[in-house]
A and B are shown apart, each in its own frame.
Chain A
Amino acid sequence: MGKQANERLSKLMVYLLCLAGSVVMLIPLVWLVRSSFMGLSQIFIFPPEWIPNPWHFDNYPKALTTIPFLRYFVNTLIILVPSVIGTVATSALAAYGFARLRWPGRDIIFNILMTTLMLPYAVTLIPTFLVWAKLGLINTYWPLVLPSWFGGGIFFIFLLRQFFMSLPKELDEAATIDGANPLQIFWFIIIPLSRPALITVAIFSTLNAWNDFLGPLIYLNDSRQYTLALGLAEFTGLYTSQWHLLMAAATVVLLPVLILFFVAQRYFIEGIALTGSKG
């Protein structure tokens, strides 16, 4: 009896703590959205109010037209779509080569590639930039897209390799006996079985491209080529203290990833859990 009551009490404590944590985590986002619907006069009231009165829906069209956000959105997609395709394709191919084909030096090379996980990006930044500059490709999207077609980052290769290694080896053997070459096995057997893992990689590389700030900042100087992230930074510089418009613009940049998160939440959680599993 006493033990049961005790357990109830501790369960209640857990719930209360979770609730408190949720409030703390969510309040900044509530503040963001609430500010984005307020008039400038209401935003500067102290103590602050939580419900916009009246609701200023026109903040959004106002914010989105003062700066060509639509163009920035299109620019972002022009970078994002080929980057994601390249990342998924080449990281899956590499992961397959590392997970399921035997060749001399395989594990050594994989381990060498793994060390780049710990490599500070600051070290590669300047030479990479200088080479792109020498090639005359600053202010183009090549520097932001092309690297994705060369493996897409060891993190994704690692993730997919883990997944591919968990598939039964007999599949490959049976297909080999039937005369399939490794590329056919990859395409017809491994890929169809690995959809969840591939979707995870697609989602994370989408997020990376969407959120990337330093890359566009360095490689794109012409404002007509800006991405949404750069556009928002530009907007922040131009409209300081127009908090209602800034919050509307920030909400717009956040919204697509928010939708992606809710639609594909399972893949987020599982993908991340997988990263730590072999730490």
Chain B
Amino acid sequence: MSSLSHNSPSQIKGKPRGLSRHRRREAIWGMICVAPAVLGFLLWQLGPILGSLFIAFTDWGIAGTPDWVGLGNFKQIFTEDQLFRKSLGVTLYFSLASVPLRMLLAFLLAVLLNQKIRALPIFRTIFYLPSIVPAIASSVLWIWLFNPDFGLLNAVLRPLGFPKIQWIYGSDSVIPSFILMSLWDIGPMMIIFLAGLQGVPRQLYEAVEIDGGNAWHRLKHITVPMITPTILFNLILSIIGAMQTFVQPYVMTDGGPNNNSLMYVLYLYKKAFEQSQMGYASALAWILFVIIAVMSFVVFRTSSSWVYYEGR
């Protein structure tokens, strides 16, 4: 090591060469290590995205060959397809109601769990539990819970004077039913909020207390601003998730009644795999892609005005 302090000319020449050989070897190993993942990205992400963009401009049944139809699919979707409009409306209705409610509930539960109580692990487990139920199992369970005659929900509500609610069997109540059901599994979101809350420095709360602030002030001026990055993260991911809800409407209602729960991806699935209209379904997929991208973009653009990043 001592030779480093007084380099002779030969060492100056020799050292970078040795280092670059080492560097090169490291670089090659690095690329080998990530090669499967990069190949996976090309084969199952980038390739298919471009592929579906091409297919979207064709008329393609599963058995036949693709016929180029230009903007035909898109024209039909935007001008004639009533079900497209219906499914997009239904999905937006569901997403715009479900996402904020889920986030609010997850946040409140996380705040509760952050209150330094001894039984925290138990309650955390219980609140998280519904989220591990496989989507198919929870769908079957909720069909039964929503049963108008013998389901749990009406059994609880009717003695309280509520009328008999049709839940997923009613045209107007089907989406609210799905929203209600979506509030049951908020475990991951709650855990992410809780981690965010635990990262808020204690001193900030103490400062508010010294200034005579109460719990509401602490929440409004410290907690919420400090965890806005977490809010942004949860918001983006839950919008993307909600816009692509599939299993629940597929298993529970098959889009009914009157297509009032025909969520977008369910409609896309029916077009592709029940009616074998691959081109048309790909056009639907790309439209969804653009909608989700625009929504995320808008959220990100506005986020600079409400997300607080420490140290910036």
Contacts and interface: CB of A to CB of B under 8 A. Distances in A.
B233 A265 contact: no
Contacts of A207: 132
Interface in A97-119: 97-98, 101-104, 106, 109, 112-113, 116-119
A interface, over-half SS: helix
A156 to B, nearest CB: 10
Given A18-B119, A273-B194, A126 B144 contact: no
Interface residue tally on B, bucketed by range: 35 or more
B30 interface: yes
Contacts of A9: none
B166 interface: no
Contacts of A274: 195
A247 B128 CA distance: 21
Give the secondary structure class of B's interface. helix
B40 interface: yes
Interface stretch (A52-60, A77-85, A194-202, A251-259): A251-259
B136 A211 contact: yes
A120 B243 contact: yes
A14 B115 contact: yes
A48 B155 contact: yes
Contact of B30 (A102, A119, A261): A102
A14 B117 contact: yes
Given A14-B117, A35-B144, A126-B281, A277 B195 contact: yes
Interface string A257-271: 110010001001100
A127 B37 contact: no
Contact of A232 (B38, B41, B137, B152): B137
B62 interface: yes
A126 B55 contact: yes
Interface string B9-37: 00000000000001101111111111011
A123 B192 contact: no
Interface stretch (B43-51, B72-80, B96-104, B217-225): B43-51
Contacts of A101: 26-27, 29-30, 33
Given A46-B155, A101-B26, A247 B233 contact: no
A250 interface: yes
Given A18-B117, A46-B150, A93-B33, A122 B41 contact: no
B101 to A, nearest CB: 14
Interface in B120-135: 123-130, 132-135
Nearest to B186: A25
A31 B184 CA distance: 14
Interface stretch (B171-179, B200-208, B288-296): B288-296
A138 to B, nearest CB: 10
A213 B240 contact: no
A24 B235 CA distance: 24
Interface of A: 10-11, 14-15, 17-18, 21-22, 25-29, 31-32, 35, 43-48, 90-91, 93-94, 96-98, 101-104, 106, 109, 112-113, 116-131, 133, 147, 149-152, 154, 157, 176, 181-183, 186, 207, 210-211, 213-214, 218, 229, 232-233, 236, 243, 246-247, 249-251, 253-254, 257-258, 261, 265, 268-269, 272-277, 279
Given A46-B155, A150-B41, 8 more contacts: A21-B127, A122-B285, A123-B52, A151-B41, A229-B136, A236-B140, A276-B196, A279-B192
25 contacts: A14-B117, A28-B142, A47-B159, A48-B150, A94-B33, A97-B30, A97-B31, A101-B26, A113-B38, A118-B236, A120-B285, A122-B289, A123-B52, A124-B45, A126-B52, A126-B282, A127-B48, A129-B272, A147-B43, A211-B136, A214-B247, A233-B251, A243-B144, A261-B129, A276-B193
State the 9 A-B residue pairs at the shortest beta-carbon distance, nearest first: A150-B40, A279-B233, A151-B37, A97-B33, A276-B192, A127-B51, A101-B30, A103-B27, A94-B37
